[in-house]
Amino acid sequence: MKTQVAIIGAGPSGLLLGQLLSKQGIDNVIIERASGDYVLGRIRAGVLEQGMMDLLREAGVSERMEQKGEIHTGVELAFNNKRVHIDLATLTGGDTVMVYGQTEVTRDLMQARSEAGLTTFYESSNVALHEVKSQSPYVTFEQGGQMRRLECDYIAGCDGFHGVSRQTIPESVRTEYERVYPFGWLGLLADTPPVNHELIYCKTDRGFALASMRSATRSRYYLQVPLTDKAENWSDDDFWQELKRRLPDEVASRLVTGPSIEKSIAPLRSFVCEPMQYGQLFLVGDAAHIVPPTGAKGLNLAASDVATLYKVLTRVYQEGDQECVSQYSEICLRRVWNGERFSWWMTNMMHDFGDVSVNGADSATFEKFMSSELNFYTDTEEGRRIIAMQYVGLPYEPLSVG
Ligand code: FAS
Ligand code: PHB
């Protein structure tokens, strides 16, 4: 078998890249470890930046997003018994975010790929990347009990944090940067009306909480929990009671509770692998970087990587420009590190680090620093503008002129 671009992973990165390349006539095949249903069953991101909305429109898969997604012009931070509204649209000159779940984005992309008759090998095992430094790399994998070999020009490693692609870059070449946080997020999905029309990020002395949503009838909530916690240790009622303790009183008083349809704990980590390319292999999205979800950046940074790789490969195949290939990693990392810093900063400001010392400061001292930071950036319009600019997403980086 041969294709132009082999894509490892059918999460949002792989599917979006495949769709964009296909619209430019660039042949691609996706190799995915799990089943399509399993991929759809993962409940993850909920907020899309302007750049991702535009990319989904360019990919021709935005119809349901336009119908079912909700434009949000603001977001709230609640702390020290006050609620601060960050007016995203006013502070950024009109930029907004879209609330539309990653599951729906994945569903739209899967449907478009299937309708276009593009090849996706689900439930593939023993995926291995070969000769990535040569001009003729290839991928081997097992599918339906048969070993397969896919010849290609380039490989896009869109296989997430636990994938095989990053491991294909020799350790001597890779530099990995990491911060693991001493807590996780317990997420709950319920078919109940959201408690508020905008997202509320809550900092309390009991820990962080986030009130989000998927639609007017489906809510998504998160609680900061210790790393030792397990989702099965939390009954729905325990979750709702604790959420009420962390929401602002007026908001908690109107919380509609109901049975959970999903409950899971996600660990929080900041992680970046440099470089994001090696020979004909490009790392995309979570395969290269992870952020704590406090800044709603994970899925959105994956999208900006996809945009850059799509532009590079389109230039290669349509203009024969090989020069731009070497720009990929540097261009992606400039925006990735901005997203990493914002997510780390929001996590430090909004969470309770308990008695864990941070950056050499004991927890009480660190807490004082962070409270001052939160007040400084929310008390002034300039400070709120800095938060708003990052939250809606910084502009995508252009390729330098070839
Ligand atoms: P993904 O991990 O989504 O997809 C990788 C794909 O590759 C998967 O389908 C996997 O099965 C496949 N794969 C793995 N190894 C393979 C192999 N060897 N061969 C073939 N295929 C392989 N982001 C936010 O913005 N907000 C959130 O609230 C949020 N919550 C999250 C909660 C959790 C539990 C996790 C893990 C992440 C969360 N994220 C969130 C981040 C998340 O949305 C990612 O940024 C997004 O899924 C990135 O998409 P991909 O890069 O496609 O990686
Ligand atoms: C979500 O709705 O899942 C969500 C929204 C914003 C975040 C994190 C998660 O920052």
Atom 4 of ligand 1: nearest residue by CA position: 11
Domains belonging to the chain, first-starting first, are 5-72+96-178+269-354 (3.50.50.60)
What is the predicted pLDDT for the residue at 319?
94
Cα-to-centroid distance, 122 and ligand 2 (Å): 28
CA distance linking residue 309 with residue 306, whole number of Å: 5
Ligand 1 pocket check for 49: Cβ under 6 Å: no
Question: How many helices (H) and strands (E) in the chain?
Answer: 13, 20
Ligand 1 pocket check for 164: Cβ under 6 Å: yes
Cα-to-centroid distance, 160 and ligand 1 (Å): 5
Ligand 1 pocket check for 45: Cβ under 6 Å: yes
pLDDT one-digit tens code per residue, 241-256: 999 999 999 999 999 9
Cα-to-centroid distance, 396 and ligand 1 (Å): 21
**Residue 266 Cα: closest atom of ligand 1:** 34
> Average model confidence (pLDDT) for the chain?
96
CA distance linking residue 133 with residue 175, whole number of Å: 18
130 phi, psi to nearest 5 deg:
-130, 150
Ligand showing the shortest atom-to-Cα distance for residue 213? 2
Contact between 212 and 205 under an 8 Å Cβ cutoff? The reply is no
**Residue 201 Cα: closest atom of ligand 2:** 10
pLDDT at 69 over 90: yes
Cα-to-centroid distance, 164 and ligand 1 (Å): 13
Contacts of 330 (CB under 8 A, 6+ apart): none
Residues with CB under 6 A from ligand 2: 45-47, 199, 212, 220, 293-294, 296
Higher pLDDT: 402 or 286? It is 286
Give the distance, in angstroms, between the CA of residue 151 and the centroid of all CA atoms in the same chain.
30
pLDDT at 399 over 80: yes
Atom 1 of ligand 2: nearest residue by CA position: 46
Which of the listed residues 76, 188, 197, 210 should we mutate to test ligand 2's pocket, taking the one with most ligand atoms within 8 A of CB? 210
Tell me the mean pLDDT in the region 141-155.
Answer: 96
Model confidence at 398, in pLDDT bands (50, 70, 90)? confident
Cα-to-centroid distance, 271 and ligand 1 (Å): 14
Tell me the mean pLDDT in the region 141-161.
Answer: 97
Tell me the mean pLDDT in the region 99-123.
Answer: 97
pLDDT one-digit tens code per residue, 166-175: 999 999 999 9
pLDDT at 101 over 90: yes
pLDDT at 401 over 80: no
Give the chain's radius of gyration (CA, Å).
21
Give the distance, in angstroms, between the CA of residue 186 and the centroid of all CA atoms in the same chain.
17
Cα-to-centroid distance, 101 and ligand 1 (Å): 13
Ligand 1 pocket check for 286: Cβ under 6 Å: yes
Q: Which of 148, 203, 145 is CA-nearest to residue 29?
A: 148
pTM of the shown model: 0.96
Ligand showing the shortest atom-to-Cα distance for residue 265? 1
Tell me which DSSP letter residue 166 carries.
H
Catalytic residues, by residue number, are: 72, 201, 293, 297, 391
pLDDT at 362 over 90: no
